[in-house]
């Protein structure tokens, strides 16, 4: 029976050690990715993410130090008392560092909602560094208390000089683990964080419900609260997983302290191994939670995989509306647009100034339009040889300023814009602004158009009416004339011709005359003699010959 139990425990230890090694590798790789993502992505360089980096460092330490030391403790190797005690204390140090990092994150998110207008004034770079230093120093002090005497040295005769089978229970006092470590530095911070997150959710829901109409008009503020709500949910999930992973181990310590015989039961050690694995696995969970719940982390992970692992070209990471537009809490700006929201009048001019770090003087800068970082369309770039259109870009390298000028702004120009610095093989540094275009007031643009229309339109109408009236009169007169001519009969025409012939016969001198210049060029003379015919009417003409001039044009 004893041999069977020993074989079972050996199998349990083998499984435990294998799982610990897998957790250690995943924890190290995942949390290195977290730190790398924060370093690469300017959108992640804010106060919350710096505390998340602190949490990632504690989780890396779990993979590098705590897991190997736990494997050593499970093997129960011979070791000096204080060496064994130090290994156990390190586990408490990094556990406390994790819980204090989570507490700092919860406090940071609460302050962003509680004092949003004064947040950037109160939360400075110096205070962030101070908070991080305090959390780590506190973790070391809490974890190293057993080294100062709160241990089981007195239970071992000259334990500081001799060796013993190193195990967690062999050197650590359970009253320290239960009352000081668990109740004081795990359970109490968890309760504080629970209250803070409940308060965060309550305040956001209350503000959104109370100012629903106002937030629809002030879209940027609505996006801010929506982003805070989603980020708080993601971090609350991290907190929930931490509690789920660590409370079972603390519960086992409480059983050991309040009911010592349970340690001798055959199920105690396998269950203890399982709870230890569960607590260590929490260090590998956080990077996965970030990837699924915070899109900026996910996109940066993909960028790292493509650019640095697969060595493929990768563009700047994209971000969702709730993630992409918040860089306001970054305390070290590489690129900044001071005015995040601008409202201009239609046909007016707009000037936007982007200030950037002097280290990016020689980099290509651009101005693009679009709600998402990765899909925004480049409007103008400093790489363009010449500027055309109503948008111009000027890079003042000496002052570290990028000036974008938009002349005659139209309604179609409204929307989200990004000022960006292009970086090869790295994420582009970008900052955003929102442009709204209002209609021009009537006393300027519209009134001028209406005034001109009031003057020009009547003149055009009067001129058109007069032209149509004149055309109508001419048409009527022409038709009357044509009608009169059409009414003439052939008898009237014949009588007219007879009258004319009679006039010619009575006064032939009036209708014919001798030429004044007989030798005039271009003139030919002919004699006209009347020869009566039986068909002609008798008419008396002069006997003498008369002359008639006939002009002709000589051929050239």
Based on the fold, state whether residues 144 and 269 are members of the same structural domain. Answer: yes
90-94 mean pLDDT: 94
Over residues 450-464, the pLDDT tens digits come to 666 677 877 888 888
Based on the fold, state whether residues 114 and 175 are members of the same structural domain. Answer: yes
Contact call for residues 173 and 146 (beta carbons, < 8 A):
yes
Answer whether residue 105 is part of any domain: yes
Answer whether residue 210 is part of any domain: no
Q: In the chain, what percentage of residues exceed pLDDT 90?
A: 35
What pLDDT band is residue 359 in, cutting at 50, 70 and 90?
Answer: confident
Based on the fold, state whether residues 348 and 410 are members of the same structural domain. Answer: yes
4-16 mean pLDDT: 86
Answer whether residue 224 is part of any domain: no
Q: Residue 204, Cα to own-chain centre: how many angstroms? A: 23
Based on the fold, state whether residues 42 and 162 are members of the same structural domain. Answer: yes
What pLDDT band is residue 209 in, cutting at 50, 70 and 90?
Answer: confident
Based on the fold, state whether residues 339 and 282 are members of the same structural domain. Answer: no
H-helix or E-strand spanning residue 303: helix 295-304
- The pLDDT of residue 361 is 83
- The pLDDT of residue 444 is 53
Based on the fold, state whether residues 399 and 433 are members of the same structural domain. Answer: yes
- The pLDDT of residue 328 is 38
Answer whether residue 213 is part of any domain: no
Nearest to 55 by CA among 70, 71, 35: 35
Assess whether pLDDT exceeds 50 at residue 411. yes
Answer whether residue 448 is part of any domain: no
Based on the fold, state whether residues 262 and 344 are members of the same structural domain. Answer: no
Q: Mean pLDDT in the chain?
A: 80
Query: What domain count does the chain have?
Result: 3
Contact call for residues 309 and 46 (beta carbons, < 8 A):
no
Answer whether residue 199 is part of any domain: no
Most confident stretch, 60-64, 356-360, 391-395: 60-64
- The pLDDT of residue 502 is 63
SS3 at position 121: helix
Q: What is the CATH number of the domain that holds 366?
A: 2.60.40.10
DSSP bridge pairs for 336: 355
Distant-in-sequence contacts of 515-523, Cβ < 8 A, 24+ apart: 515/547, 515/549, 522/551, 522/552, 522/553, 522/554, 523/549, 523/550, 523/551
Over residues 119-137, the pLDDT tens digits come to 878 888 889 999 999 999 9
Assess whether pLDDT exceeds 70 at residue 529. no
Q: Between these two residues, 511 and 228, which has the higher pLDDT value?
A: 228
Give the list of residues 6+ apart from residue 293 with CB closer than 8 angstroms, or none: 233, 234, 237
Q: How far apart are CA 336 and CA 338, in angstroms?
A: 6
Based on the fold, state whether residues 34 and 114 are members of the same structural domain. Answer: yes
Based on the fold, state whether residues 37 and 167 are members of the same structural domain. Answer: yes
Q: Between these two residues, 197 and 307, which has the higher pLDDT value?
A: 197
What pLDDT band is residue 196 in, cutting at 50, 70 and 90?
Answer: very high
Answer whether residue 169 is part of any domain: yes
Ranking 28-32, 218-222, 485-489 by mean pLDDT, the lowest is: 218-222
Nearest to 43 by CA among 283, 360, 233, 303: 303
Q: How far apart are CA 290 and CA 33, in angstroms?
A: 11
What pLDDT band is residue 510 in, cutting at 50, 70 and 90?
Answer: low
Based on the fold, state whether residues 279 and 374 are members of the same structural domain. Answer: no
The reported pTM is: 0.60
Q: What is the CATH number of the domain that holds 181?
A: 1.20.1070.10
Answer whether residue 516 is part of any domain: yes
- The pLDDT of residue 453 is 67
Based on the fold, state whether residues 286 and 425 are members of the same structural domain. Answer: no
Supply the DSSP symbol for 332.
Answer: S
Based on the fold, state whether residues 177 and 144 are members of the same structural domain. Answer: yes
366-387 mean pLDDT: 82
Helices (H) and strands (E) in the chain, counts: 17, 13
Q: Domain containing 346: what range?
A: 333-440
Contact call for residues 234 and 296 (beta carbons, < 8 A):
no
Q: How far apart are CA 295 and CA 282, in angstroms?
A: 20
């Amino acid at each position: 029976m004893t041999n069977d139990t020993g074989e079972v425990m050996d199998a349990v230890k083998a499984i435990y050690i294998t799982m610990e090694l897998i957790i250690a590798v995943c924890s190290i790789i995942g949390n290195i990715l977290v730190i790398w993502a924060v370093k690469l992505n300017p959108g992640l360089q804010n106060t919350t993410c710096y505390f998340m980096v602190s949490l990632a460092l504690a989780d890396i330490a779990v993979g590098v130090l705590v897991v190997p030391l736990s494997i050593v403790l499970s093997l129960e190797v011979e070791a000096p008392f204080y060496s064994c005690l130090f290994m156990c204390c390190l586990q408490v140090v990094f556990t406390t560092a994790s819980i204090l990092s989570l507490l700092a994150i919860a406090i940071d998110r609460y302050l962003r909602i509680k004092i949003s207008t004064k947040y950037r004034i109160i939360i400075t770079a110096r205070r962030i560094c101070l908070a991080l230093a305090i959390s780590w120093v506190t973790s070391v002090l809490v974890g190293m208390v057993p080294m100062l005497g709160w241990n089981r040295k007195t239970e071992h005769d000259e334990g500081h000089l001799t060796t013993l089978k190193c195990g967690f229970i062999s050197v650590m006092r359970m009253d320290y683990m239960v009352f000081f470590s668990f109740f004081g530095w795990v359970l109490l911070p968890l309760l504080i964080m629970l209250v803070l997150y409940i308060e965060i959710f309550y305040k956001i829901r209350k503000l959104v419900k109370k100012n629903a109409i106002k937030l629809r008009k002030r879209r940027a503020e609505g996006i801010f609260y929506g982003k805070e709500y989603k980020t708080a949910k993601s971090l609350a999930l991290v907190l929930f997983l931490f509690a789920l992973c660590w409370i079972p181990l603390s519960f086992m310590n409480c059983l050991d302290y309040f009911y010592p015989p349970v340690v001798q039961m055959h199920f105690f050690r396998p269950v203890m191994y399982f709870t230890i694995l569960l607590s260590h696995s929490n260090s590998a969970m956080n990077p996965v939670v970030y990837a699924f719940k915070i899109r900026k982390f996910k996109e940066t992970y993909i960028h790292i995989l493509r650019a640095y692992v697969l060595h493929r070209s990768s563009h700047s990471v994209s971000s969702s509306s709730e993630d992409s537009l918040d860089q306001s809490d970054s305390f070290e700006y590489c690129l900044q647009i001071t005015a995040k929201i601008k409202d201009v009048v239609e046909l007016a001019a707009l000037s936007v100034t982007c200030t950037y770090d002097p280290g990016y003087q020689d980099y290509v800068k651009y101005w693009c339009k679009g709600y998402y970082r990765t899909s925004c369309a480049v409007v103008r770039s400093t790489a363009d040889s010449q500027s055309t259109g109503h948008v111009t870009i000027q890079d003042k390298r000496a002052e570290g300023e990028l000036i974008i000028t938009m002349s005659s702004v139209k309604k179609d120009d409204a929307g989200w814009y990004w000022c960006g610095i292009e970086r090869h093989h790295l994420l582009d540094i970008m900052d955003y602004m929102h442009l709204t275009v209002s209609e021009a007031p009537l006393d300027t643009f519209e009134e001028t158009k209406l005034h001109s229309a009031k003057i020009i339109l009547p003149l055009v109408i009067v001129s058109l009416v007069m032209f149509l009236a004149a055309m109508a009169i001419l048409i009527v007169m022409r038709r009357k004339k044509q009608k009169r001519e059409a009414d003439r009969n052939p008898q009237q025409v014949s009588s007219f011709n007879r009258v004319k012939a009679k006039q010619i016969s009575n006064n032939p001198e009036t209708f014919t005359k001798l030429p004044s210049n007989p030798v005039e060029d271009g003139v030919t003379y002919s004699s006209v003699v009347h020869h009566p015919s039986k068909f002609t009417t008798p008419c008396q003409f002069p006997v003498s010959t008369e002359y008639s001039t006939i002009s002709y044009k000589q051929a050239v």
